[in-house]
Chains A and B, each alone.
Chain A
Amino acid sequence: MLTLYCPCCGEDVDETDLHAGGEAHLKRFGPGSSDEEFEGYLFMRENPKGVHFERWHHTYGCGKWFLAARCTQTLEVFGTYPAQTLEPPKDIRDKITKKRPGWTWGALS
């Protein structure tokens, strides 16, 4: 069972109250982009065994989106943070580095 802290309403929320929204920090490529960029935006996703960054929607609660850093293997949650960010905050990345030295995720590490 996964419990995530919703940074929008400040509650510890069970995963059955949430809806998973897929990979976090996607950059949209729209009109004018190359075929490769567009394909990457539409289809290419990280699928790690380990550190992962995801979008979650607090469906049964405040109805807001937030982002979570967690481990797909152990379900350990490293932290959650607001959706209005372009990359994971430094304190969360530091925490992950401490627990999972040498982790990588896309271009992040």
Chain B
Amino acid sequence: MSDVISALQGRTAEGVVTIQEMGLCGMITLRGDLADPKIAAICRDLTGHDLPAKGHATTTGETGLAWMSPDEVLILVPYATSEVALSMAQEALKGSHFLAFDVSDARAMFQLTGKYVHEILAKLAPVDLDPAHFPVGRLRRSRLGQVAAAFWKVDQDSFRVVCFRSVADYTFNLLAASAKAGPVDHLNG
């Protein structure tokens, strides 16, 4: 089999905010009735996290859960375990109305780290990223420049961004350009 590689193979741009493509990440889209206890149970089994509240994500390292819409959750697992995780989800939810799909190779994930990370993102998305309104754990699906993306706040100084793999290069360059242009000293003071 061919070697699997991520979209940008860990490309990194250092600056006031460091942009790093995270390499291979396991991502499973799970759609269904999020109130179904079976969905909550399998999500907990796979990641160790409870289902996040509306508009939130809970992650530790490579694993976690991201709320994507009222009937969709993104399950994050280490890349090597995504196939096993997918079959476990399919097994656990057999009989329910659901959809589970491994999108690991269809998405790209970025880690943004730095003091001005809010500003670097706020320049690109029509979202109120004031730390007072966007606390740790908050997730938003919106757009960055011209492409759709989801991002959530991992801790005070870092965000994670997920976009389609086909636009990974654009997203990386966009984020890097925004970081290169520097802070505007509006949100962080």
Spell out A's residues near B (CB within 8 Å).
Answer: 8-14, 16-17, 60-64
Pick the residue among B70, B126, B128, B143 that contacts A9 (CB under 8 A): B70
B contact face: mostly helix, strand, loop, or mixed: strand
CB-CB under 8 A for A61 and B141, given A14-B126, A17-B126: yes
A106 to chain B, nearest CB (A): 29
- Per the bound structure, the CA–CA distance linking A27 and B53 in Å amounts to 35
26 A–B contact pairs at CB < 8 A?
A: A8-B69, A9-B54, A9-B55, A9-B69, A9-B70, A9-B141, A10-B54, A10-B55, A13-B126, A13-B142, A14-B127, A14-B142, A16-B143, A17-B126, A17-B143, A60-B141, A60-B142, A60-B143, A60-B148, A61-B69, A61-B140, A61-B142, A62-B70, A62-B141, A63-B69, A64-B69
CB neighbours (8 Å) of A64 from chain B are 69-70
Is B68 part of the binding interface, using a Cβ–Cβ cutoff of 8 Å?
yes
What 3 pairs between A and B have smallest CB-CB spacing?
A14-B126, A62-B69, A61-B141
- Per the bound structure, the CA–CA distance linking A60 and B126 in Å amounts to 11
CB-CB under 8 A for A17 and B142, given A9-B54, A9-B55, A10-B55: yes
CB neighbours (8 Å) of B143 from chain A are 16-17, 60
CB neighbours (8 Å) of A12 from chain B are 128
Interfacial residues of chain B within 17-73, with CB under 8 A of chain A in the complex: 54-55, 68-70, 72
Question: Which A residue sits closest to B141, measured CB to CB?
Answer: A61
Spell out B's residues near A (CB within 8 Å).
Answer: 54-55, 68-70, 72, 126-128, 140-143, 148
- Per the bound structure, the CA–CA distance linking A54 and B169 in Å amounts to 36
CB neighbours (8 Å) of A13 from chain B are 126, 142
Considering residues A8, A63, A64, which has the most beta carbons from chain B within 10 angstroms of its beta carbon? A63
- Per the bound structure, the CA–CA distance linking A90 and B126 in Å amounts to 31
B102 to chain A, nearest CB (A): 20
CB neighbours (8 Å) of B148 from chain A are 60
CB neighbours (8 Å) of B141 from chain A are 9, 60-62
CB neighbours (8 Å) of A60 from chain B are 141-143, 148
- Per the bound structure, the CA–CA distance linking A13 and B127 in Å amounts to 8
- Known A-B contacts: A10-B54, A10-B55, A17-B126. Give 9 more (CB < 8 A): A8-B70, A11-B55, A12-B128, A14-B142, A17-B142, A60-B141, A61-B69, A62-B69, A64-B70
A6 to chain B, nearest CB (A): 10
Question: Which A residue sits closest to B150, measured CB to CB?
Answer: A61
A57 to chain B, nearest CB (A): 12
CB neighbours (8 Å) of A11 from chain B are 55, 140
- Per the bound structure, the CA–CA distance linking A62 and B128 in Å amounts to 17
Question: Which A residue sits closest to B143, measured CB to CB?
Answer: A60
